[in-house]
Amino acid sequence: MNFLALCQRVFLEGGIAGQITTVVNQQGEALRVVKWVQDAYLQLLNDQALVWNFLKGSTQKQLVIGQGTYDFVTDFQLPGGVQWDTRSMRVAVNQDLSDETFLIEQRFPMFRDFWLFSSRRTVQSRPLNCAVDDQTKLRIAPLPDQPYWLVFKWQEMPAPLVANDDKMIIPERFEMVVVWLALRHYGMFEAAPEVVARADKHYQIMKQQLELDQSYEVIGGPPIC
């Protein structure tokens, strides 16, 4: 469903009087539905942070000799990037990755205390560690002594729903989860407990299905003793 179809489905499921034929320049009830759908989509995207599979990207970019700090847009041309998956990072000299090695992730305070200290700040060699700093920039150390290839996964934040034909990044079979969450906002606004209860029921079912399909598998470890 595109953005307009999502709003039309909220009208249908909520039994809202009238109809909506565009999401642009709306007023009154129609404007509220448009905003509720936008808010529901954003709320769902933020719900699981790095967990949603549909928000993950994987790419291969080349590092710059002597440069240890990297930005999504300026350095890697990934305008939708919002977070780095440092657990997935590897480096290689060869573009075919035949010699790749893992980067060991560190929390930034530990990275800072070791690599951003004294003469270690300027050491150039094959990168060993990676971290994300307080400005969400990627830090690599030691500084690359040649243009290594960096392989990594990252989290993107897709553009918001604005135009009639805009589509969500959520898999199509789970799109109703946004409709039910938006309908819940409508029920709360109208103080209609029966609408809220119905929306909650369907939302929880659909949300659970989405989590089972699009989030990390949880694996239990062996017994402690």
Tens of pLDDT, residue by residue over 9-18, are 999 999 999 8
According to DSSP, residue 17 is labeled: S
Segment 40-52 shows an average pLDDT of 82
Which of 45-49, 142-146, 219-223 is the most confident on average? 142-146
Closest CA to 93 of 116, 139, 132, 125: 125
Per-residue pLDDT at 218 exceeds 60: no
CB 81 within 8 A of CB 53: no
Paired strand residues for 154: 57, 84
- The larger pLDDT score, comparing residue 214 to residue 143, is at 143
pTM tops 0.85, yes or no: no
Segment 40-57 shows an average pLDDT of 84
